[in-house]
Amino acid sequence: MAVQLNKKQLGLALMMLGALPLPSYCIERRFEIEPGMLGEKYAISPSPAQAKAPRGDAVTSTYMVKRGDYLYKILAREYGIRGGRAEAVVQKVKILNHLADVRKLRVGQTLLIPAVPSERAGNKSRRGVKTAAAEIRRGEQAAPAASREQPAGAQQRSGSTVIREACLIWPQLVSYSPAGRSRLDYVTGAFSLSLDPGKYPVVAAQDGGMILIDGNRSLPALVKSLLQAENPQLGVVSESPENRRGFFRSLLRAARFYSFEEDFLVEFGTDSKITVHADFKIEKVPDSLLHQEIILLKVAENRRPTPQGVVKLLAANGFNLVETSTSSIAAEPAMTGSYLYQIPGKDTKTIAEALLHALGVPFETGKRIDLYAGEDNGVHLEVRVQQYFERSGNRFVLALFGADPVGEALADLLEARGYRVVLLQEGDDLADVSGKLLSRMDMAARYGEQELWSAWEEGYGVRIPGLMIRDANNGGNIFITDRNLDPLVLELAELRGYSQRGGGR
């Protein structure tokens, strides 16, 4: 028998039901389906690459190769894997993807990245492996895999930290709030709905809309449908914050900026060049470039804060730097035992002498060598050389004899007597002198544009023409240049542990 209720009776009945302490479900529990059952009954066919992958390596994620990528850079930038761990992972990637040569990657090629145990418990974000959530959680099957690697509580704390960082920097990206609202509440004739802003933060989109962050993917599908029915422009970001870069990528995409791109590099200077790497470059509106209002966003963790000198340099060139809070690495000391040596002057003799000083080689200047000493032939022939030194049981001379038959004959006589001759010419610069000297000393260093440290790791770097030599005694680097260096370059080098020496001091 059908029962008809008027609106007043229906409202009273709903209020009585709401007062009962009963669990609430969108559908009856007996009709709910465990996500794992879907995989059992409706198996998803593996991709061609996964189908031929060896069973011994669990695939954590896939990565599509972009222009300029090489494997070590991909592992460091996307997964936080460096040093000795990277060597082991490279071999696994090579086997997993059937690569003949890891140095020859094709743009657009999809790589399978194996699961690698994280370096430290409770820190998965870009330090161990890229969590399976980025690729598999869309199938609702990632939770068991993730829980094996890290306790659920630690995951939640890590993810909430990333979301909190995003909310803190967001006003620097979008200068207005979403219609003055920080939460979503709807009351209609059919339902009333509210979301906890602590669990579901709301930020602004560039076009004035709103973005709901559902980092834990706990928002019921019915609730999401109701929200988007009430607000068709509402964007929902469900990317796991455990995949830090992927989370920010999804957030920027939902913000509907005019454009954004990943892994942006910008360079300043001529002789000494300062390179800045940003995880994202953002143009908020079509004329951002015209008005020099470009935002550079850095979101990588375990990175020292960008020095204020670099921030000011960017601002002077139309780039506004925004970066998430840095971790404890900011308190760690930079590398030590390295020094930057500036060669004073342009004179060949001065360059040769300064280069030997920079290399730490004791030498004599203006030494006279008797070519027939010890021979009882009545001949006494002395040759004056510019510099003389001994190293590893060998005798070396640097000489400015001139490009003429007499000079060549003297050089030949010295070589015949067991001296290693470095024959210099007037006008030789640091590139010429170092090329001749180091080749005779069997040192592999070459003059050219050198990177003092990696811009990919620090977020900023310096490149200068000169010589980079590994100091076996101190474990650091010896960098030698004949270029005039910008004060900011010297400041950055000092921050990175380079002690300045030579005529530029």
Q: What backbone phi and psi angles, to 5 degrees, belong to 481?
A: -140, 155
CA distance 232 to 223: 13
| H/E segment holding residue 134 | helix 133-136
CB 505 within 8 A of CB 342: yes
Of the candidates 132, 129, 123, which has an alpha carbon nearest to the alpha carbon of residue 162?
123
Write out the two tokens for 338: 């390295």
* 3-class secondary-structure state, position 411: helix
> What's the DSSP call for residue 331?
G
CB 442 within 8 A of CB 419: no
CA distance 296 to 311: 10
Write out the two tokens for 136: 């598999």
Write out the two tokens for 403: 């490009």
* Strand 364-365, strand 368-370: pairing: unpaired
Q: Which is it for the CA torsion 10, 11, 14, 15, positive or negative?
A: negative
* Strand 202-204, strand 210-213: pairing: antiparallel
> What's the DSSP call for residue 67?
T
| H/E segment holding residue 35 | helix 35-41
Show pLDDT as tens, one digit a residue, over the chain (505 residues): 455 556 555 555 555 555 454 444 444 444 444 444 444 443 444 444 444 444 444 566 788 888 778 888 888 888 878 766 777 888 888 888 888 887 788 888 888 888 765 443 333 333 333 333 333 233 333 333 333 334 334 444 477 889 999 999 999 999 776 544 566 778 877 888 888 888 999 999 998 889 999 988 899 999 888 888 888 889 999 999 988 999 999 999 999 999 999 999 999 998 899 999 999 999 998 888 888 889 999 998 877 889 999 999 999 999 999 999 865 454 455 556 789 999 877 889 999 999 999 998 999 999 999 888 777 777 788 889 999 999 999 999 999 887 778 888 888 999 998 999 999 998 999 999 999 999 999 998 899 999 998 888 788 999 999 999 987 777 788 999 999 899 999 999 999 889 988 754 4
Q: 83-96 vs 71-79: helix axis angle to the nearest 10?
A: 110
> What's the DSSP call for residue 332?
S
Structure-token match 């921030």, residue found: 311
CB 59 within 8 A of CB 51: no
Instruction: Give pLDDT, residue 67.
Output: 79
Beta strands, E only, 201-301: 202-204, 210-213, 235-237, 259-268, 273-283, 294-298
Tell me the per-residue pLDDT of 117-157, one tens digit each, with 9 for 90 and over.
Answer: 544 333 333 333 333 333 323 333 333 333 333 433 444 44
Rounded (10°) CA dihedral 327, 280, 69, 86: 10
Q: What backbone phi and psi angles, to 5 degrees, belong to 398?
A: -105, 125
CB 97 within 8 A of CB 91: no
